[in-house]
């Protein structure tokens, strides 16, 4: 929901935003995958540092 609202604010054509549901779904999928990848990278770094500390 937050990514959709950010895209609604940042989209160059906000008046045409409702006419492209496929584009909205594609952007949401891309944002969700990027968010998941970032979370995985952060957790892997934290796990690596905790293992090295022990």
pLDDT tens sequence across 26-44: 777 777 788 888 888 888 8
| Residue of 52, 53, 11 lying closest to 31 (CA atoms) | 11
Average pLDDT taken over every residue of the chain: 68
What integer pLDDT is reported at residue 19 of this predicted model?
Answer: 58
* Contact (CB, 8 A) for 17 and 24: yes
Q: What is the pTM assigned to this prediction?
A: 0.42
Whether the predicted pLDDT of 5 surpasses 60? no
């Amino acid at each position: 929901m937050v990514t959709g609202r950010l895209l609604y604010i940042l989209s160059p054509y906000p008046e045409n935003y409702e006419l492209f549901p496929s584009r909205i779904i594609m952007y949401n999928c891309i944002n969700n995958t990027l968010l998941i990848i970032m979370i995985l990278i952060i957790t892997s770094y934290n796990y690596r540092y905790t293992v090295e500390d022990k």
